Structure 1
Amino acid sequence: MNDYTKKVIKIIKSIPSGKTMSYGDIAKTAGKNRGAREVSRILHSCSEKYGLPWHRVINSQGKISLSGEAGQFQREMLEQEGIRFDKNGKINEVYINKGRDSNANKERRKKRS
């Protein structure tokens, strides 16, 4: 297992109950600004083996990416942890952990504008 995968697993395991984190923010925190798809692959292949709280990982829009019964199951698991959704299925910002590097990234974007 490479270092990046180890970091991703550690970050996912650290997402507390009642919080979520996006694939992209996990990737950035682990050191890859454009690694959301790789996080998805790691999550899919390692969740069961490492007991990852897969249900706490959401997309960049603050929504559940899974559809059908799997998406409904994820939503139910999050609601059991106290997470609330708006009428469009978006998770309230208060329940989203932006990760370690998000403030630094926001400052860099402001400077570029």
Structure 2
Amino acid sequence: MKKILDERLIYEILSVVEEIPRGKVATYGQIARLIGREKNARLVGRVLSMAEYYGSYPCHRVVNHAGRLVPGWHDQGLLLLEEGAVFKDNGHVDLKACQWDE
């Protein structure tokens, strides 16, 4: 079976994450599209869950397609608030106001 995750792919994803400006967010699907793997949003999430082993990246700037934060990662919302991200009443990031338009 071919190994799906290799170092090149990991760093390709992380380099896109590194480009997201302060106060903006990107979705997992958006990052997958930017690396040419439109159907691999979950793969992006998997890589981001291991990002700490590859250096320091602003993974808190990545949310799901509805603007929902990572369940159980309470600091993500605080980090985004500190950067000026706008939230809806339901606690999701307001993608219309904050989505990175790479």
> What is the TM-score normalised by the length of structure 2?
0.84
Out of 36, 46, 58, the position equivalent to 1:31 is 36
Question: Is residue 90 from structure 1 mapped to residue 89 from structure 2 by the alignment?
Answer: no
Q: How many residues align?
A: 96
Corresponding residue SS for 1:91: coil
Q: CA deviation at 1:50?
A: 1.9
Distance 1:98 1:28 in 2: 13
Q: TM-score if structure 1 supplies the norm length?
A: 0.76
Q: What is the alpha-carbon distance in structure 2 between the residues aligned to residue 49 and residue 76 of structure 1? A: 23
Moved over 4 A (4+): none
Q: Quick one: distance in 2 between partners of 1:59 and 1:47?
A: 19
Work out whether residues 20 and 95 of structure 1, in 8 Å CA contact, stay in contact via their aligned partners in 2: yes
Segments of 5+ residues of structure 2 without an aligned counterpart are 1-5
Match runs of 1:1-113 below 5 Å:
1-67=6-72, 70=73, 72-92=74-94, 93-99=96-102
Structure (1 or 2) with the larger CA radius of gyration? 1
Percent of residue pairs bearing the same amino acid type: 28
Larger relative helix fraction: 1
Cα separation, 2, equivalents of 1:84 and 1:9? 24
- Name 1:105's counterpart in structure 2: none
Equivalent-residue separation in structure 1 for 2:53 and 2:71 (angstroms): 17
Partners of 2:86 and 2:71 lie apart in 1 by 17
CA distance change for structure 1 residues 5 and 57 in 2, over 3 Å: closer, same or farther? same
Which runs of 5 or more residues in structure 1 are unaligned?
A: 100-113
Q: How far did residue 52 of structure 1 move?
A: 1.0
